[in-house]
């Protein structure tokens, strides 16, 4: 198994805490991306949708996963288990210093996640605390914050799946 952390970046304009509408661990938020087969390298034609609330039985036995998908070329099964509790919203500081933030960790067997697609159903706050619903599928967003009397917006959405290692220390699990 390999652990992949989904990192995101965006240029934020008077906005902070960009994240899926119900938070990074929103059980209903669909994370969309493509899969590359670890066995033959085939990339799935369509983006796959994975959410924490969606659970399927693994064909091999007792365990469950959030996704099981057969490679169309070689027929090998790939499976993904989402690991909540490790994501944080993208702050304006992380946006300015280009560090980005990890939203979710995926435990992948037999497949590799690539090409994350930003969809609808995101949210962020203005620096004055006004909440905005954002459709990230457009790639950019612009509005006006009445409270802060300033324009707010975002653009240049980027993402990357990084291979991370599981570390246990003092009873806590971290992915770095």
Residue ranges binding Zn ion (CB under 5 A)? 37, 39-40, 42, 71, 73-74, 76
The residue among 37 and 92 lying less far from Zn ion, judged by its C-beta, is 37
At 159, list the tokens.
């993402």
25 near 172, Cβ under 8 Å? no
Min dist CB 92 to Zn ion, Å, is 41
The residue among 56 and 73 lying less far from Zn ion, judged by its C-beta, is 73
30 near 109, Cβ under 8 Å? no
The residue among 13 and 38 lying less far from Zn ion, judged by its C-beta, is 38
Min dist CB 164 to Zn ion, Å, is 24
Min dist CB 6 to Zn ion, Å, is 22
Min dist CB 131 to Zn ion, Å, is 43
Longest CA–CA separation in the chain, Å: 57
* CB burial string 50-61: b at 16+ within 10 A, e below: bbbeeeeeeeee
Min dist CB 36 to Zn ion, Å, is 9
Residue 124 CB partners (closer than 8 Å, separation 6+):
12, 15, 16, 17, 18, 19, 89, 131, 132, 134, 152, 154
The residue among 71 and 81 lying less far from Zn ion, judged by its C-beta, is 71
The residue among 112 and 145 lying less far from Zn ion, judged by its C-beta, is 112
Q: Is 155 helix (H, G, I), strand (E, B) or coil?
A: strand
């Amino acid at each position: 198994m390999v652990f992949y952390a989904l990192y995101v970046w965006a240029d934020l304009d008077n906005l902070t805490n960009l994240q899926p509408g119900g938070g990074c661990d929103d059980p209903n938020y669909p994370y969309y991306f493509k899969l590359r087969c670890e066995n033959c390298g085939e990339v799935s034609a369509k983006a796959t949708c994975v959410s924490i609330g969606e659970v399927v039985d693994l064909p091999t036995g007792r365990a469950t996963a959030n996704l099981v998908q057969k490679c169309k070329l070689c027929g090998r099964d790939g499976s993904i288990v989402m690991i909540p509790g490790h994501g944080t919203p993208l702050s304006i500081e992380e946006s300015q210093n280009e560090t980005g933030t990890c939203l979710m960790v995926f435990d992948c067997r037999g497949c590799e996640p690539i090409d994350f697609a930003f969809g609808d159903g995101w949210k962020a706050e203005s620096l004055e605390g006004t909440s905005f619903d954002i459709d990230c599928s457009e790639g950019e967003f612009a509005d006006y914050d009445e409270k802060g009397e300033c324009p707010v917006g975002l653009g240049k959405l980027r993402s990357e799946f990084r291979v991370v290692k599981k570390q246990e220390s003092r009873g806590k699990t971290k992915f770095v």
